[in-house]
Amino acid sequence: MKSDSRLEKVLTAGKFAVTAELGPPQNADPEAIKKKAVGWASAHQVGGASPTLRSCVDGANITDNQTAIVRMSSIAAAAIAISCGVEPVVQMVCRDRNRIAMQSDILGAAALGVKNLLCLSGDHQKFGNHPQAANVFDIDSVQLIAMVKKMRDEKRFLCGDPIKEHEPRLFIGAVENPFADPFEYRVLRLAKKVEAGADFIQTQCVFDVEKFARWMGLVVAEGLHKKVHILAGLTPVRSHKALVYMKNEVAGMSIPDELIKRMESAGEPKEEGVKICLEMIEQVRNIEGVAGIHLMPIGWESITPVILERAGLLPRPEV
Partner 1 sequence: MIVADRKPLEEILNSIKDYKKIMLAGCGGCVTICFSGGAKAVELLASQIKMAGKKEGRDIEIVECTPERQCEYEFIDELKKDLGSVDAVLSIACGVGVQAMSQRHPDTITIPGLNTKFMGYPIEHALWDERCAGCGDCVLEWTGGICPIARCAKKLLNGPCGGSANGKCEVDKDTDCAWQLIYDRLKKLGKLDNLKKIREPKDWRMSTNAGQRRIKFEEAML
Which residues are at the interface with partner 1 (CB under 8 A)? 94-95, 99, 121-124, 126, 135, 137-143, 146-147, 158, 175-177, 180-182, 185, 188-189, 191-192, 195-196, 204, 251-252
Closest distance of CB 94 from partner 1, Å: 8
Closest distance of CB 207 from partner 1, Å: 14
Least Cα distance to 23 among 107, 85, 99, 80 occurs for 80
Residue whose CB is less far from partner 1, 95 or 225: 95
Residue whose CB is less far from partner 1, 189 or 262: 189
Closest distance of CB 212 from partner 1, Å: 14
Reduced to 3 states (helix: H, G, I; strand: E, B; else coil), residue 93 is strand
Structural Rg of the chain based on CA atoms = 19
Closest distance of CB 195 from partner 1, Å: 6
Closest distance of CB 186 from partner 1, Å: 9
42, 96 Cβ separation under 8 angstroms: no
Residue whose CB is less far from partner 1, 102 or 291: 102
CA–CA distance, 309 with 57 (Å, rounded to integer): 11
Q: Is the dihedral of CA 114, 32, 241, 250 positive or negative?
A: negative
CA–CA distance, 319 with 132 (Å, rounded to integer): 46
Residue whose CB is less far from partner 1, 166 or 214: 214
Residue whose CB is less far from partner 1, 50 or 248: 248
Closest distance of CB 193 from partner 1, Å: 9
Residue whose CB is less far from partner 1, 130 or 166: 130
Residue whose CB is less far from partner 1, 146 or 311: 146
Reduced to 3 states (helix: H, G, I; strand: E, B; else coil), residue 286 is coil
Number of Cβ within 10 Å of residue 117's Cβ equals 30
290, 13 Cβ separation under 8 angstroms: no
173, 118 Cβ separation under 8 angstroms: yes
CA–CA distance, 295 with 60 (Å, rounded to integer): 9
CA–CA distance, 172 with 125 (Å, rounded to integer): 25
Closest distance of CB 86 from partner 1, Å: 26
* Amino acid of residue 57: V
| Rounded to 5°, angle at Cα 16 from 225 and 42 | 145
